Amino acid sequence: MPDPAIEIENLTKEYPFGFLHLKKRTSLEGLSMQVEMGDVFGFIGPNGAGKSTTIKLLMGLIFPTAGSARILGKPISDVEMHRDIGYLPEQPYFYDYLTAAEVLDYFARFHDLTAADRKDRVDRMLKKVGLETARKIQLRKYSKGMLQRVGLAQAILHDPKVVILDEPMSGLDPVGRREVRDIILELKKDGKTVMFSTHILSDAETLCDRVGVIVGGKLRGVGAPGTLVDMKTLGMEILFELTKPSNVPLLSSATRTGECYRLQVPEQELYGAIEQLRGAGARILSVSQVKATLEEFFMNLVEADRAQGAAVEVSEQ
């Protein structure tokens, strides 16, 4: 088994606040986890969960109160490590009056490249993120999706082994999100390790080998999206068609779209429900299991955290 790409151990970040900075707010509490080499890892959590704090700690932009982390075996305090890491900040800003090619050429100057190599690298990156035809247009005329792709190109310009992206899909429409997803999948195909934060669960579910769920500064679960969720069946869903009126009581709990109905029943009541519906003249179209989703897992954690927060506020009064 190769060494993990990112190893985080007991990482903690406290911010002082209040009068004379005497109080402390813990933004990240004892985070320990690993991102395996070659994986796409999704770091998911609601607003204020500690995602950007973790990423900024990994990038050495802020310093931990406690704990440590290693990327590709090197401690995050090692400046050399940055040669192998690409980073997309949460809200990247690029000067509006430059073109995409000029911005990328500027960033390429930070790396040891000849002018010819630089041009070649910028051309390849523009192609990779689908901006080659827009290369000479100033960024002020770009859409949000295009700007995000400039940010991605900037992050992967120096061909890093590990790419860390803070909310790469934020503010994008479904087309823009799809484009970013495709770029991430392409990075995986090239053998890169990608860690990205998001609060869009469907993106994490479709894209990631593993996800970590963080709420209130604490890691609440980590694993493949399917294994994180309690796989128990929530019940059975019957999809049926009913063309003539009926007064079967079950119908009152079904959702109707035209002549099509959707009804959820507990597993043990399935056959009884089908019999009743058939007796009423319904045509059964399908029966499927309803499983807990990542969204439900996530929402339960967030709701429990909010309830706990509210309880603390009440007891402090």
Ligand X SMILES: Nc1ncnc2c1ncn2[C@@H]1O[C@H](COP(=O)(O)OP(=O)(O)OP(=O)(O)O)[C@@H](O)[C@H]1O
For residues 76 and 69, give the distance between their C-alpha atoms in angstroms, rounded to a whole number: 6
Instruction: Indicate the residue whose CB is closest to Mg ion.
Output: 52
Q: Which does 50 bind (CB under 5 to 8 A by kind): Mg ion, ligand X, none?
A: ligand X
Q: Which residues bind Mg ion (CB under 5 A)?
A: 51-52, 90
Taking the least distance from each CB to Mg ion, the nearer of 53 and 193 is 53
Q: Which residues contact 194 (CB under 8 A, 6 or more apart)?
A: 39, 40, 41, 162, 163, 164, 165, 184, 187, 188
Taking the least distance from each CB to Mg ion, the nearer of 41 and 261 is 41
CB of 253 to ligand X, least distance (A): 37
Taking the least distance from each CB to ligand X, the nearer of 27 and 34 is 27
Q: Which residues bind ligand X (CB under 6 A)?
A: 15, 25, 27, 45, 47-53, 90, 199
Q: Which does 84 bind (CB under 5 to 8 A by kind): Mg ion, ligand X, none?
A: none
Taking the least distance from each CB to Mg ion, the nearer of 171 and 266 is 171
Which amino acid type is present at position 72? L
Which amino acid type is present at position 258? G
Yes or no: say if 58 and 204 are a contact pair by the CB < 8 Å rule: no
Yes or no: say if 155 and 87 are a contact pair by the CB < 8 Å rule: yes
CB of 217 to ligand X, least distance (A): 7
CB of 51 to Mg ion, least distance (A): 5
Taking the least distance from each CB to ligand X, the nearer of 28 and 103 is 28
Q: Which does 27 bind (CB under 5 to 8 A by kind): ligand X, Mg ion, none?
A: ligand X
Q: Which does 53 bind (CB under 5 to 8 A by kind): Mg ion, ligand X, none?
A: ligand X
Buried b (16+ CB within 10 A) or exposed e, 82-93: bebbbbbbeeee
Report in angstroms the alpha-carbon separations of 88 from 94, 150, 155: 12, 10, 6
Q: Which residues contact 88 (CB under 8 A, 6 or more apart)?
A: 151, 152, 154, 155, 163, 164, 165, 166, 168
Q: Which does 193 bind (CB under 5 to 8 A by kind): ligand X, Mg ion, none?
A: none
Q: Which does 15 bind (CB under 5 to 8 A by kind): ligand X, Mg ion, none?
A: ligand X
Report in angstroms the alpha-carbon separations of 80 from 11, 49, 75, 84: 21, 29, 10, 8
CB of 14 to ligand X, least distance (A): 9
Cα 98–Cα 101–Cα 107 angle in degrees, nearest 5: 85
CB of 92 to ligand X, least distance (A): 14
CB of 178 to ligand X, least distance (A): 21
